[in-house]
Structure 1
Amino acid sequence: MTKKRFFLMAACVMAAAGAMAQGNGQAGITEATQMVTSYFDPGTKLIYAIGAVVGLIGGVKVYGKFSSGDPDTSKTAASWFGACIFLIVAATILRSFFL
């Protein structure tokens, strides 16, 4: 007898929880979208700042190789420059894709 009461009570609690969960889903989706899109502007600025730091580090490394007379200076410069361009383009594309 107590098992029947327990299962009946559990079924009633789950039905009540399901009924209370029925709400305005559109408002929740809109709020979540606004929260996610609010992070894109600071995120792109952070990626641009990281790109600037990577560019400065790359410039110092390329200058060091150039000063020492290393023959593969152009290869190193191209790889660091490519990394900076990738960061900038990736941030711009992500921002334009999601906003």
Structure 2
Amino acid sequence: MKRLPKKEALWLFLFIAGTYTVLAQSSAGIDQATAEVSSYVDPVSNLIIAIGAVVGLIGGVRVYIKWQSGDQDTQKAIMGWFGACLFLILVGVVIKAFFA
């Protein structure tokens, strides 16, 4: 059996130790990034839901004004505003479910 010279054994040891250190640092970095992203999920999700509520209120007022003025395309306006409001609320809920 052939033995490794001291110089090559030292390089092998440094390589293994360096690889272990790099892997440990990247794991800590990933854990820190996960915690950072998780801390932003609830505020962003609540903000999106609040924006959806404001869009719904604005849409309701605009549809009411169209309906009172006798426009024929009120149905199209209702579907557009309702779809936008529903989309924003669902995005907020899905973000919470995906990152929680």
Task: Indicate the TM-score class for this superposition, using the shorter chain for normalisation.
Answer: 0.7 to 0.9
Matched residue, 2:98: 97
Q: Which structure 1 residue ranges, 5 or more long, are not aligned?
A: 1-18
RMSD value over aligned CA atoms? Answer: 1.5
| SS in structure 2 at match of 1:71 | coil
1:47 and 1:39 map into 2 onto residues whose CA distance is 12
Matched residue, 2:78: 77
Q: Which structure 2 residue ranges, 5 or more long, are not aligned?
A: 1-17
Matched residue, 1:15: none
Which residue identity does 1:82 align to in structure 2? Answer: G
1:76 and 1:24 map into 2 onto residues whose CA distance is 54
> Alpha-carbon deviation of 1:78?
1.1
Residues 17-64 of structure 1 show CA distances to partners (whole Å, capped at 9, x for unaligned) of xx6x83532222111100011000000110011001101110110011
2:61 and 2:25 map into 1 onto residues whose CA distance is 56
Which residue identity does 1:24 align to in structure 2? Answer: Q
| SS in structure 2 at match of 1:39 | helix
Matched residue, 2:63: 62
2:55 and 2:25 map into 1 onto residues whose CA distance is 46
1:32 and 1:57 map into 2 onto residues whose CA distance is 37
| SS in structure 1 at match of 2:54 | helix
Give the TM-score of the pair, scaled to structure 1.
0.73
2:67 and 2:79 map into 1 onto residues whose CA distance is 13
Runs of 4 or more, structure 1, over 6 Å off, are none
Q: How many residues get paired?
A: 80
| SS in structure 1 at match of 2:63 | helix
> Alpha-carbon deviation of 1:88?
0.8
Give the TM-score of the pair, scaled to structure 2.
0.73
